[in-house]
Structure 1
Amino acid sequence: MAEGADLAVVVQAHDVAHYRDLVPGVDLLAAPAAAARPPVRFAWEQAGLPGLVRRSGADVLHSPHYTMPLAVGVPVVTTLHDATFFTHPDVHLAVKRTFFRSWTRVSLRRARRCVTPSAATRDELVRVAGARADRIDVAHLGVDSRRFHVPSDAERAAVREHLGLTGRYVAFLGTLEPRKNAAALVRGWVRAVADAEDPPALVLAGGRGWDEEIERAAAEVPAGLTLLRPGYLPLEQLAGLLGGAEVVAYPSLGEGFGLPVLEAMACGAPVLTTRRLSLPEVGGDAVAYTEPDPGAIGTALRELLDAPERRAALAAAARDRAALFDWRSCARAHLRSYASAAGL
């Protein structure tokens, strides 16, 4: 809206109040309550959404998550968040892999424009899915500096009290699913700190996914080391968690963008990640890199933990680089995509 767009947003019926508070003044259109169930939602997207779009008078429909109605009567822009359903099929459940591969191909063929959050994802879709690069627009994600910022001493202390931490720690933030490679991080952390006089804890914050290997890795942690898996943390504690860590480690096997890396950078954290897919596009020279296997993670993590000056330099560079990614730029990139789709 701040960029002059006239938006109508279709939301789940139970989310209307939330979005009314989040984006006041936007025209909110509610899907039927039954569409809260995924099978009904997918059917309604094809049969019910087109009529809602026509009644709204929209010039363009933005479908933000791979799928799109096939007969809607206006140009469609579809967001394709990553290509890992093609490049890393083993880290996705079979049903999701089949579904999102199919819809990615449909959207690449049928949507007027597609949007990806990184050039790396665009290039991968060209390589593995036969996409046309000239029909894909890149819109880098942004970071909310009000939520993700260098934390105050009080914010750091609140997280420590919440988690029961008294010493140093390494942090991870993300869903514990195979693609995030958290099991390898646990094993690498053990290698890095097992012989330390004051070994830092490892905090794996975020939702529990379907990664069974993380349970095996956790069971291997020696006595005397502290591994915490607190699940979701309150949003107001995330800056304290990330900015208070000795290192934020995110050794993902592949990301469409890598928002946790950017958020950690904005909090002034030294970050250790991989060079897979889009992550170097986000981290640039402001993060440290490792290969994704436990041995390499352990070596890289130990080197960072033993080098306070290196961590301080990365933290300063990370803050500067994170400032280059903002949501207004992301919104403007989307508006350009909409205009292109509408032929304006």
Structure 2
Amino acid sequence: MTAVQKPRVLVDATSVPADRGGVGRYVDGLLGALGRSGDVDLVVVCQRADVERYERMIDLGEVIAAPAAVTHRPARLAWEQTGLPLLAQQVGAQVLHAPFYTCPLRAGCPVTVTVHDMTFFTEPEHYDKSRRTFFRSAIKTSLRRADRVIVPSKATRDELIRLLDADPARIDVAYHGVDPAAFHAPAAEEKARVRARLGLVDTTYVAFLGAKEPRKNVPNLIRGWVSAVTDRSDPPALVIAGGQGHDDEIDQAVAEVPSRLRVLRPGYLRFADLPGFLGGALVAAYPSYGEGFGLPILEAMACGAPVLTTPRLSVPEVGGDAVAYTGPEPDEISAALTRLLDDENLRSSLAGAGLARAKEFSWDTSAEAHVMTWSKVAA
């Protein structure tokens, strides 16, 4: 791509939360790849706390601090409608990319939006009413207003078409990637360091890493794990790491765990400890009711963990034959987990297959797909 063909793209990164999470991993990975490639004339607007981070990450591009108030969601949404279009005009953006469902109603330039998943429609019972209503409305509005929509999987594209009669000609699939520097097969000392921090020096464990949302199905994971390990002489612990979320049933499920079994909830782990945590687990379990992509699954595969997940929505596009599958109910999770815990060769085979498959997903490839979309829109 020659210099004159580069679209000038303003990426709104103000929606990235402090804990990074899924949207943070997506935006960070995408911007890092775009900043290295030089395939777009890149401008990034972000929260003030992220300016230095993105300036280090982006070799080729400009980083602008948004008003301090955008750290609060209502103020960010208001600024998105007023301040963001003005900024797009000031920087001469040919395309404005909104990476998290919402976008300005009148941007003054072509707009692309990332719609991450359709579980607000397919799994409505796993969201509270206000969250479900907001994101359903945001997705419908973005479908009407955006010039093109980017989705992270074919499953999400198909659900947009099936449920909202979206125009398939305006939807582009750009798979997420995984950062091999951040998520890699850990050395023995990395695993040992994490076990020591968790107080599991002499204990194996099953790992979960993610948000504690009802859609992630953590209560059924806890009950399935109890059933799978309760009669074992040396039962592996269950470690549920990540933010607190809003699934009240988790506390109830933990209260039902027999006293001889260990459930740990360490909260957020240090980013540098994630390879040791995931790669050091007997199994990384992620029995979600549905995903728009399944980034935690890919990251666990990249760390050499045998992964147990569900064949829902986009997950088979990510896991393929390199993961083990289960239904979402406790007895199904128990049976699948028992099989993995009893078969070291199967775990080793899945770990190797997962490592190989994870290499097929890169942020550079994702960035190329985004650039193709923006070039269509800019033209």
| Category of TM-score, reference length = shorter chain | over 0.9
Q: Please name the residue that 2:73 is paired with.
A: 38
Map 1:1-344; keep pairs closer than 5 Å.
1-3=35-37, 4-165=39-200, 166-343=202-379
Q: In structure 2, what is the Cα distance between the partners aligned to 1:162 and 1:38?
A: 34
- Contact 1:141/1:327, CA 8 A, preserved across alignment: yes
Q: Secondary structure at the match of 1:107?
A: helix
- Structure 1: which 5+ runs fail to align? none
* Superposed displacement of residue 24, structure 1: 4.3
Q: Is the 8 A contact 2:36 2:60 kept in 1?
A: no
Between the aligned partners of 1:136 and 1:221, the Cα distance in structure 2 is 45
Paired residues in the alignment total: 343
Say which SS state the counterpart of residue 247 (structure 2) adopts.
coil
Task: Report the alpha carbon displacement of residue 35 of structure 1 after superposing the two structures with TM.
Answer: 2.3
Partner AA of 2:318 in structure 1: V
Measure how far apart 1:224 and its partner are: 0.7
| Partner residue in 1 for 2:21 | none
SS at match of 1:121: helix
Deviations 1:318-342 (A, max 9, x none): 1110010000000000000101112
Counterpart residue number, 2:27: none
- CA distance in 1 between partners of 2:373 and 2:204 (Å): 45
**Structure 1 CA distance, aligned partners of 2:258 and 2:78?**
50
- Structure 2 distance, partners of 1:66, 1:76, is 12
Distance in 2, matches of 1:333 and 1:300, equals: 36
In structure 1, what residue type is equivalent to 2:89?
A: R
Query: Unmatched 5+ residue regions in structure 2?
Result: 1-34
Separation (CA, whole Å) in 2 of partners of 1:32 and 1:243: 40
SS in 1 for 2:36: coil
Residues 37-88 of structure 1: CA deviation (Å, up to 9, x unaligned):
2112111111111111011011100011111111112110000010011111
Partner amino acid for 2:360? L
Q: In angstroms, what is the RMSD of aligned CA positions?
A: 1.0
Superposed CA deviations along residues 154-201 of structure 1, whole A, max 9, x for unmatched, are 000000000000211110110111010011000000000000111000
Query: 1:291 and 1:183 mapped to 2: Cα distance?
Result: 14
| AA of the residue aligned to 1:66 | Y
SS at match of 1:78: strand
Larger mean CA deviation between 34-43 and 253-262 belongs to 34-43
SS of residue matched to 2:41: coil
- 2:116 aligned partner, one-letter code: H
Cα offset, 1:14, TM superposition: 3.1
Q: Is the 8 Å Cα contact of residues 14 and 33 (structure 1) preserved in structure 2? A: no
Describe the superposition over 1:91-143 as per-residue Cα deviations: whole angstroms up to 9, x where unpaired.
Answer: 11211111111110111111110001111111111111221111111110011
Structure 2 Cα separation of the partners of residues 33 and 267 of structure 1: 36
Report the AA paired with residue 330 of structure 1. Answer: S
User: The residue matched to 1:7 in structure 2 has which SS?
Assistant: strand
Which letter maps to 1:291?
Answer: G
d(CA) in 2 for partners of 1:100 and 1:177? 15
Counterpart amino acid of 1:172? Answer: F
Q: Which amino acid aligns with 2:193?
A: A
> 1:227, 1:35 → 2: CA distance?
37
AA partner of residue 12 (structure 1):
Q
Aligned partner of residue 193 in structure 2, secondary structure: helix
The runs of 4+ residues in structure 1 deviating greater than 4 Å are: none
Letter in 2 for 1:100: F
Matched letter for residue 82 of structure 1? D
